[in-house]
Chains A and B, each alone.
Chain A
Amino acid sequence: MIKIKINGQEQSWDGDPDLPLLWYLRDEAGLTGTKYGCGQALCGACTVIVDKEAVRACITSINDVAGREVTTIEGLHPSGDHPVQKAWRQLNVPQCGFCQAGQIMQAAALLMDNQKPSHDQIREAMSGNICRCGCYQRIENAVHLASTGV
């Protein structure tokens, strides 16, 4: 039996310990905000925060996060008003929106680590997250906005 804490709630799993966290979250726990985009840590759509770090849930097994604290987009902020989320809305970042949960989690993790990232640091930190719709200009501006106060 594997125990993990997801968005503050204790959960347990007694199935395949190698099951990627992504599919546990989406299919078993019903937390569908975290997305599948590639399954190979190439796109960042599945980004969640484990303890204080952004990780790709598609290549992280449920066993890897045993006893740790996982935050998904649903748990980022109780009312959905994390500075990153607010900045995203203020700048109308999303197009289709499918990549955005991963982008937001990545940005939130970046700001935990570095409160005032430079232009280059933002571009570097966000480059693991693909947006096929091409919202990069706004994502970059929104991360900057979130870091300077929304």
Chain B
Amino acid sequence: MNFIENPKKLRGFEKHVRIEKVSRRSILKGLGITGGFVLAAPVMSRQALAYETGAGKMPHGVVVDPRVFVAIAPDGIVTIVAHRSEMGTGVRTSLPLIVAEELEADWTKVRVQQAHGDEVKFGNQDTDGSRSTRHYLIPMRQIGASARTMLEQAAAKRWGVPATEVKAVNHEVVHSATSRKLGFGELAADAAREPLPSIEGLKLKDPKDFRYLTKGQVSIVDLRDITTGRARYGADVRLPGMKYAVIARPPVTGGKLVSFDPAEALKVPGVEKVMEVRGWPWPSKFQPLGGVAVIARNTGAAIKGRDALKIVWDDGPNGKYESVAYRKELEEASRKPGLVVRKEGDADAALKTADKVIVGEYYIPHLAHVSMEPPVAVANVKDGKAEIWAPVQSPGGTREDVAKTLGIPEDSVSVNVTLLGGGFGRKSKCDFALEAALLSKELGAPVKVQWTREDDIHNGFLHTVSVERIEAGLDKSGKVIAWRHRSVAPSIASTFAAGTVHQAPFELGMGLVDMPFEIANISCENPEAAAHTRIGWFRSVSNIPRAFAVQSMVGEIAQATGRDPKDMLLELIGSPRIIKLDSVKDLWNYGEPYDSYPIDTARMRKVVELVAEKGEWGRSLPKGRGLGIAVHRSFVSYIATIVEVAVDDKGKLTIPRVDTAIDCGTYVNPERIHSQIEGAAIMGLSLAKYGEITFKDGKVQQKNYDDFPVIRMDESPLVTNVHIVPPGADTPPSGVGEPGVPPFAPALINAIFAATGKRIRSLPIGKQLEA
């Protein structure tokens, strides 16, 4: 049976339509049970929305098909598929909620089903880049509206009335002229036989009729399970006959196993086997590092067994990586010209003739994600088939990589996505799932690979380390006439390709080339830096060092010119305008079309003004306290933060209050925006105060939360207030998960300056205030 009565109706997408058979799921009757089809292309109808997104350019694009995402059972229970991974942002609730809104479903009768990794079926599933709402608000609305239309058509047929006379209202279709009603469950089977409406003809709800969207009244679907211990994370998967494994990995990136002695490990009660795990040479994307696995009847025994292993490693080419020396290298590189990645006017000449030049050299070290749940995965590889259970941010990518690693077709791999106990970019890399797959294949049994916290810190994909050097030239009147920013940091691309020494466009586009200030002479440069460890995405990525440097420099300029920092900031942002970046060759713009998501300084000014008003900028404070402000655009959202800090005479720092204003365009769930921004303040404070991974002899020197501390409750801000800019009617949605982090550290550092007169240019703060 062909669901597409007339594929031509889907104008522009005919070529991409593929029919796929999906096996009948017995429990779910109605929509979604008998088949699925895929539009592996952007489904963005001009008529339905005023903007386009980069969704269609993501691998496998967007699928808009109610039969893939929605099922309605005869009892009226609506099942909606969440195809993105839940790591704490609330996306597993928010996306289905969008569908339910348009479907006119009653949320209490909705169940959420997590999609397995299958991008042909569901479209792109990479849960990263703060993209889920921004890419899926409209597609999810279209999916809900399509299903609603099919239910309405089915009801109209049953009653023999025109479809225009019926209307879905709260889980029923109503014919008000005759006061007839039919529940969704009663209509489901018929609705499934209705033709799929054309996307272009869909009528989306008027936002004023929203019941759920923008209201913030719906709690996350996993709330009860989380509070009762029933929520299932990667570590909680248990299979009959499952073995427990931990792996000793090479302590230096690029190192190799030379030999090992398993004798003592095998004496540990509960240890069953010790075996080598295949490793790949560095760099090789997310492939396992290799090493020695200890297999046991429980994780505790496996850890104890591993402690008893004797292993000889060859450290390889990175055995001399050392953080103090490396920092010097980066600093020296930042003092010489580098690859020019943005140029307006002539900053070099203007700096020479400037009345005053302010130089800031800022250092931000490597950071580890330390998501609360360390990497973990369960695999069962049998008879040429692999089944994976794992907390992965990219289930589709995991499926591809498992297939490649095992040398089996992708069809033979299924990836079940559990809840993620935090992700922050670490779980975009599926190395831990690949390890489990390799081990299970060799053991012929299901196996769980558990990373310890030490493993997580020693063998992760760290946030880069960078020196950001900014020189600002001022004329006699104190106006900034020149801006030269050199950013030196090993690139994430180095994890994919050997010999990478420059940042990729997506990194340059995070706060370097997209710098928003209105300055006549601008030069952004990227001197070379080679990587000596695995570099990866960390929540907010390069925006962390860039925002820290740029917004600290604003504070320094204000200080040098005796201006109010907020006024200085607004003056630098300049007139409300759409910034043109003609000199930037490859403007990433977070993968979004610039027309829909330009750099709009009016919006940037607005968040600064809003946070200044709500955060009571300029309020008088006792001695030892200060306010700092910073703004940053990232993930196409605009965020400004004011931090109030109190520093006592011993240099102890407390945060009485934080205010953050966010403009993330049209939004779905303001309650989860609040929680993300509250959390971002904690993460920002953690990295500013403590965050530092260092290397010696090629090895990470930290090991756990004692020497890589994160903020605890006793140090957390007393109050964090979040102020959301009400979106304009047509403002496209933008990111929320990541943008909260970057402005925090510079706002804090600017506040510390206000409180103490001390300017911190090197993170973490550590003991710098104690001296």
Contacts and interface: CB of A to CB of B under 8 A. Distances in A.
Contacts of B89: 95
Interface residues of B, number: 67
B219 A27 contact: no
A34 to B, nearest CB: 7
Contacts of A132: 370-372, 422, 424, 683, 710
Interface in A97-150: 97-101, 104, 122-124, 126-140
Contact of A134 (B224, B421, B711): B711
B337 interface: no
B51 to A, nearest CB: 29
A136 B713 contact: yes
A11 interface: no
B719 interface: yes
A127 B682 contact: no
Contacts of B258: none
A143 to B, nearest CB: 10
A32 interface: yes
Nearest to B234: A98
Given A94-B220, A95-B88, A39 B238 contact: no
A40 B297 CA distance: 21
A55 interface: no
A88 B228 CA distance: 10
Contact of B704 (A40, A96, A124, A134): A40
B300 A27 contact: yes
Contacts of B230: 33, 74
Contacts of B704: 38-40, 42
A136 B681 CA distance: 11
Given A23-B298, A131-B372, A134-B682, A126 B235 contact: no
A23 B300 contact: yes
Interface in A61-114: 72-74, 76, 80, 85, 88-89, 92, 94-101, 104
Interface in B195-234: 219-220, 222-224, 226-233
B303 A33 contact: no
A134 B373 contact: no
Contacts of A30: 238
Given A43-B705, A139-B713, A94 B227 contact: yes
A22 B714 contact: no
Scoring A15, A24, A76, A130 by chain B CB atoms within 10 A of each residue's CB, the highest score goes to A130
Contact of B712 (A15, A34, A85, A130): A130
A92 B713 CA distance: 17
A56 interface: no
Contacts of B370: 132
A22 B300 contact: yes
A51 interface: no
Contacts of A38: 453, 704-705
A140 B714 CA distance: 10
B671 interface: yes
A2 to B, nearest CB: 13
Q: Is the interface of B mostly helix, strand, loop or mixed?
A: loop
Interface residues of A, number: 60
A16 B270 contact: yes
A1 B300 CA distance: 18
A74 B269 contact: no
A80 B226 contact: no
Contacts of A99: 372, 421
A130 B227 contact: no
B231 to A, nearest CB: 6
B220 A20 contact: no
B701 interface: no
Scoring B220, B228, B297, B676 by chain A CB atoms within 10 A of each residue's CB, the highest score goes to B228
Contacts of B714: 123-124, 127
A112 to B, nearest CB: 18
A19 interface: yes
A5 to B, nearest CB: 18
B679 interface: yes
Contact of B420 (A34, A96, A129): A96
Contact of B222 (A80, A97, A140): A97
Interface string B719-752: 1100000000000000000000000000000000
Contacts of A31: 229
A33 B301 contact: no
A85 B231 CA distance: 14
A15 B675 contact: no
Contacts of B87: 96
Contacts of A16: 268-270, 300-301, 304
Contacts of B373: 35, 37, 96, 98
A15 B270 contact: yes
Given A74-B228, A88-B227, A19 B300 contact: yes
A80 B224 CA distance: 8
A94 B421 CA distance: 11
A13 to B, nearest CB: 11
B452 A133 contact: no
B219 A92 contact: yes
B396 interface: no
Contact of A97 (B231, B270, B719): B231
B230 to A, nearest CB: 7
A140 B713 CA distance: 8
B533 to A, nearest CB: 21
Given A127-B712, A131-B713, A134-B711, 12 more contacts: A15-B269, A26-B298, A30-B238, A94-B227, A95-B88, A96-B87, A97-B421, A123-B713, A129-B713, A132-B372, A136-B711, A136-B712
7 contacts: A23-B301, A32-B232, A38-B453, A39-B303, A95-B675, A95-B676, A96-B419
Interface of A: 15-16, 19-20, 22-24, 26-28, 30-40, 42-43, 45, 72-74, 76, 80, 85, 88-89, 92, 94-101, 104, 122-124, 126-140
